[in-house]
Structure 1
Amino acid sequence: MSSPHTWNLLCSGVSSEDAAVLLQGMMKWKKVKSQLMSSTSCSSGAPHSMRYRLLCCACKHCADAVPYLHCAWRLKVLVCQEAATVDMHELGDHHCRARTPSNSCITLRQRHFIKELARENLVPMRIRHALGPKFGIRPAALPSLRTVQNIVHHFRRTRLGGNDKRKAIMEAVRASAFSGRDGDHDAFTFTSTYDGSVVPEVGNGSDARPFLVGMTTKALLRNSARDPGTFVLHLDATFKLITSQLQREHCAAALVALRCMYARVNGAELQVKFVLGDADKAQHKAFHDVFADRSFTYLMCFYHVVAKLRERSRGLSSELSALVYKGVYDLQFARSEAEFVEQKEAMLKEWAGHADLTAFTAYVKAQRQLRELAVLPHTARLKMGLLLAQLLACCGHRSMALPLFSLAPTCPSTLQTRTRGLRRRGLLSENVLTRSSINFLLGDADPDLVHVRAVPPMRTSVPELNRTREDMAITAQFGVHYARMEFRSVVDDFHEEILVNRKRVQNVGRPQNIDHALQRL
């Protein structure tokens, strides 16, 4: 049946960008209907769909002119889903000719750009600001933050798995579950319990059925198949967990799942000699329960050691507090167990000379070993579905970029680069013992030992950082020159003035000299 209204064709077969420009030039409107239906605006013979949108007037001037009657203006927008063309039909007239600013329409290219940035986990505010330089939009003409938020949240929820729906999460976990046929760098999931068909069981997050899923790769598990005395197993619980609700049973289930998966991949039991955990009784007791058949040393994270020191030393004076921190940090940087024991005895002996440290010394003696392994907690406010995808990708990337495991001290590349830089500047020299030196006369000099004397390089003040920096790396040299140029007006014959300090007037000129590394550019 034909429509009872007489629609006037406004445009036909235009692109989505041109249609967005036309809509932005109209009076203010609002969308009252949007649905998919069979296409009638295209001559294609294949059946396909089109998007039907109906817009009505939302102009304030029309409502003020005739307050008792709705504006009769309507706009019908037909978007072909196959050819991506737009047809517009108009019906009726506005009550008033006065215009109000219309809604800022987001074009198809802008929508794709927003979705690409949403894949990188950028917040909607940053995405909105990125639209300006990308498409040349004035700040006043940018779409509203609410519009960008709607696009980003809908895209994450429908396309990136940014939701907490249990059915979708279970499908994602089971789709990437361990099968034995996975590649070395293919990330897979595993749990502590499986059903009869070797399908991992996933809880619903309640107290009775906690949600527990592990992720790793074969390469990561095989990398830990080595002498247990050469590495430290690090336990951490900082990602997507409420540590106050993390109980002993949860930690035990996670450790059991890890131990079983290690045995399936490597064909041997997980050997642990040193384990580093938080100052948490649940972790400590759970590890003793799961690895009761192993002999290991449980170490405490240095962050929690310092936190406990801060808590226990609040009533001490500033001098005694500094003495306590000095002793603990000396223990942290001990290079061997013998040196650690020696420094600990010296520290306790020094503390014994102060009566105010008697109770604190008794507390420290009751604690276990104080050691540290760098803890870098990473947190992200992501939905569980998107978080699983991000962690699986992280496991795969980490597996392909495994660092070499050294069993002996090695020289890092940064030290080699620094040594070459010092040698080029003539700051390294061999310390030759002269005949008049006491070591030469006593005969204690080892002929196989070479003594190298290093002179520290020149340091330049960087006002922007409020500190000094060595003139070593090229990046540091650029930072030094940039800081020096901030305090003088730089005018080149071919360039405009770019760095000006109006608080201090100096003669115009170039830097008096440049470093050796920049002379070769």
Structure 2
Amino acid sequence: MVTQGFKPSRIRNGMARRFGLTGSELPTLRQVQWFVSSYSKKNLHRNDDYDESLSQIDQLAYGPTVSDTNPFSFGWKRDGRGKPDVGNGSDEKPFLVGLTTKRLLLNAARDPEAFVFHMDTTFKLNQVGYPVIVCGISDKCRSFHLMALFITSQRLEDIYATVLTELRRIFASVSGGRQLVVKFVMADAKAAQQNKVVRVFGADCEFVYLMCFYHVMAKVHEKLKSVPDRLRDQVMADVYDLHFAASQDVYDEQVKPILTSWSDEEQMVWIRGYFERTWVTSAFWRWQCFHTPSGYATTNNPVEQFNRLIKCDYTLRTKHKIGTLTQLLADCCGHQSVTPRIFKESPEATQQLNARVKDFRRRDLLVGMTPSRSSIDFLLVSPNPDVVRVLSRGCERVYLPELGRSREVGPVSAQMEVNYARMEVAGQPEGGWNVDLSTNSCGCKYYFKFAVCIHVIFALQIKSYTGLDGKRTLVNRSVSRKRRRSSITVLLLSIGTLKILLFYSHYAELDHTTRSKAALHND
């Protein structure tokens, strides 16, 4: 229980439940605390002993006999005594230790245009305030694949340069001399990081330094706190329009009118100055979709999700000693190596999109507009059999005062943020989107960013495809239980109505016969 990070009070309560001990038979909480502290210091490296930390790092040192999934340390040299020289955390000797495995490093042994390289820093993992730098790549489904973790004492330009240099060095050693080449790099809006990325990768790589779009929106939203809701929503919509620009020329055409419209409002003049100065003319202006192929990550969300995993599954949101943190991060690298994780080179539909298509089909918000073979339009247009016209009618939204924003009417699993939902119908032709099933492509802006959209999924379902993999199934002609129940209900109602009509008809006929006989009798 100590190795799993349980608190002394929880361990004491667990002893009482497991062994059925009474209060007098249990050790005191102070005794349990002493035992946990002593055991942790001797066996789990929970102490500040510098020599013991060096011994631990030395035991994890990289060597040619290390297996593909065993974690090892790197990024340091040995001193005159043969011990690791990792620094002591001072300004003169910064602390730096890298942790990884061979399998994690080989994730990047592929075409540099097939991934985005991410570098992010996470905090609050140890008791001495040392940040941890996370390096990895994301695939076309925006899934994160870890490469290495670095524990460092400072965030300096030289530290970032050393991190990237050591990462390239160990990658070349593991891959048999192959160089780590990147095409797209995404990191924080810090000049120190950008300068060192250019310094390390710029010598032999032609790469694009991307800016996290979520970081842009978070900073803009922070500046809009004192702005009325109407103006704030307009600014956010304008920024999203710039983000979804299809090319550099389209972006240049849009940005000037948008900034001019902001100047028309007195409360927005200073917002225009901030936005233009920080996100238009600065070195961190590449936050638009057109800088990367469709489907690739435009935010640091993949690595942010991994940072959350470290804190939830390994550190348990507790600040540890450096020795303990080193072992926990080494375990993390080992677990990521043995966990099967496929690098995806083609997009996949998310659960949200599948749920959204299912809900929209039920409410007729997605309609196939391809003319049938018996129509005149089919004879005049002679459509391509691989092209399906899909009309998206959008989804109604309701405003929730308690949340201060609107929400789509529909299941929670199918709801989408207002500006992303707007991109599904923005610029839609009168007859709907033309979806090409030979390439699984669509002309909507949502597809332009994510390489998949509800229109493509809907068109594939119309043509009896199982998904984006190109496999087909037989046409499903079964009637759902709800439709069958409705049909039976209608049939029963029809039979009942017919019986009533026959009854009244027979009664009327009898009444007519009776009256005729009475008339003859009177005559």
Report TM bin, short chain.
Answer: 0.5 to 0.7
Equivalent-residue separation in structure 1 for 2:168 and 2:10 (angstroms): 42
CA offsets 1:257-300 (integer angstroms, 9 cap, x no match): 11111111111221011111112222222222222303221122
**Which of 387, 391, 395 does residue 449 from structure 1 map onto?**
387
Q: Displacement, 1:119?
A: 1.2
1:211 is matched with which residue: 53, 78, 95?
Answer: 95
The separation in 2 between residues aligned to 1:422 and 1:323, in whole angstroms, is: 27
So what's the TM-score if we normalise by structure 2? 0.56
The corresponding residue for 2:109 is: 225
Q: Do the aligned partners of 2:352 and 2:413 also contact (CA within 8 Å) in 1?
A: no
Alpha-carbon spacing, 1:410–1:199, altered in 2? closer, same or farther (3 Å): farther
Q: Quick one: structure 1 residues 449 and 163, their matched pair in 2 at CA, closer, same or farther if it must change by over 3 Å? A: same
Quote the Cα distance in structure 2 between the aligned partners of 1:444 and 1:330: 35
Other-structure match for 2:262: 354
Q: Structure 2 residue aligned with 1:296, among 207, 225, 231?
A: 207
1: CA distance, partners of 2:112 / 2:7: 43
Q: Structure 2 vs 1, CA of residues 245 and 303 (structure 1 numbering), >3 Å: closer, same or farther?
A: farther
Q: Please state whether the residue corresponding to 1:275 is helix, strand or coil.
A: strand
Take 2:276 and 2:48, find their aligned partners in 1: how far apart are those partners?
48
Question: How far apart, CA to CA, are the structure 2 residues paired with 1:242 and 1:471?
Answer: 39
Are residues 1:247 and 2:185 paired?
no
Shift of 1:327: 3.1
Preserved contact between residue 259 and residue 269 of structure 1 (Cα < 8 Å): yes
Identical-residue share of aligned pairs (%): 34
Task: List alignment gaps of at least 5 residues for structure 2.
Answer: 132-152, 288-297, 395-406, 415-480, 483-523
Query: Would you say 1:384 and 2:322 are equivalent positions?
Result: yes
Q: CA deviation at 1:199?
A: 6.4
Q: Which of 281, 286, 299 pairs up with 1:369?
A: 286
Structure 2 residue corresponding to 1:237, chosen from 121, 128, 138: 121
The reply to whether residue 342 of structure 1 matches residue 256 of structure 2 is: no
Q: Is the 8 A contact 2:187 2:300 kept in 1?
A: no
For residue 396 of structure 1, the aligned residue among 329, 334, 353 is 334
Query: Who is 1:64 aligned against?
Result: none
Query: Taking structure 1 as reference, are residues 221 and 211 closer, same or farther at Cα in structure 2, changes over 3 Å only?
Result: same
Q: Distance in 1 between matches of 2:329 and 2:7?
A: 19
Q: Any idea what the Cα deviations from partners look like across 1:200-246, whole Å, max 9, x if unmatched?
A: 42212222111111111111111201111111111111144556942
Task: Please identify which structure carries the higher helix content.
Answer: 2
Distance 2:213 2:85 in 1: 36
Deviation at residue 394 of structure 1 after TM alignment: 1.0
Is structure 2 residue 168 aligned with structure 1 residue 259? yes
For structure 1, the residue ranges without an aligned partner over 5 or more in a row are 1-115, 457-465, 474-514, 517-521
Q: 2:11 corresponds to which residue?
A: 127
Is the CA contact 2:365–2:392 (under 8 Å) kept in the aligned structure 1?
A: yes
Aligned-partner SS, 1:236: strand
Deviation per CA, 1:28-80: give whole Å up to 9, x if none: xxxxxxxxxxxxxxxxxxxxxxxxxxxxxxxxxxxxxxxxxxxxxxxxxxxxx
The one-letter amino acid paired with 2:281 is A
For residues 312 and 166 of structure 1, do their structure 2 counterparts lie closer, same or farther at Cα, with a shift above 3 Å needed?
A: same
Which residue is equivalent to 1:306?
217
The change in CA–CA distance for 1:366 and 1:311 in structure 2 (over 3 A counts) is farther
> Any idea what the Cα deviations from partners look like across 1:479-503, whole Å, max 9, x if unmatched?
xxxxxxxxxxxxxxxxxxxxxxxxx
CA distance in 1, matches of 2:97, 2:179: 21
Q: Is the 8 A contact 1:331 1:343 kept in 2?
A: yes
1:95 alignment partner in structure 2: none
1:319 partnered with 2:203 = no
Distance 1:338 1:407 in 2: 22
Aligned partners of 1:141, 1:303: CA distance in 2, in Å?
Answer: 55
Instruction: Tell me if structure 2 keeps the 8 A contact 1:331–1:340.
Output: no
| Cα separation, partners in 2 of 1:436 and 1:359, compared to 1, 3 Å | farther
**Distance of aligned partners of 1:362 and 1:174 in 2 relative to their CA distance in 1, 3 Å threshold:** same
Q: Partner residue of 2:143? A: none
Q: Could you list the per-position Cα deviations for residues 133-174 of structure 1 after superposition, in whole angstroms to 9, with x for gaps in the alignment?
A: 434467899765444333322221111112221111111111
Taking a change above 3 Å as real, the CA distance of residues 134 and 268 of structure 1, as seen in their structure-2 partners, is same
Query: Offset of 1:317 from its aligned partner?
Result: 3.4
TM-score, normalised to structure 1, is 0.56
Deviation, structure 1 residue 433: 3.1
Q: Name the stretch that deviates more: 194-203 or 414-423.
A: 414-423
- Change over 3 Å in CA distance of 1:338–1:423 after alignment to 2: closer
**Residue 487 (structure 1) aligns with:** none
Structure 2 CA distance for aligned equivalents of residues 308 and 392 of structure 1: 34
Q: Which has the higher contact order (CA 8 A, sep 6+)?
A: 2
Q: Supply the AA of the counterpart residue of 1:359.
A: G
Contact 1:348/1:361 (CA < 8 Å) preserved in 2?
no
Q: Equivalents in 2 of 1:168, 1:359: separation in Å?
A: 54
Task: Count residues with an aligned counterpart.
Answer: 348
Structure 1 residue 438: Cα displacement: 8.6
Closer/same/farther in 2, CA of residues 328 and 453 from structure 1, 3 Å limit:
closer
Q: Kindly state the Cα deviation for residue 339 of structure 1 after the two structures are TM-superposed.
A: 5.4
Task: Report deviation, 1:197.
Answer: 9.2
Query: Contact between 1:277 and 1:300, CA under 8 Å: does it hold in 2?
Result: yes
Give the conservation status (yes or no) of the 8 Å contact 1:191–1:201.
Answer: no
In structure 2, the partner of 1:274 is 184
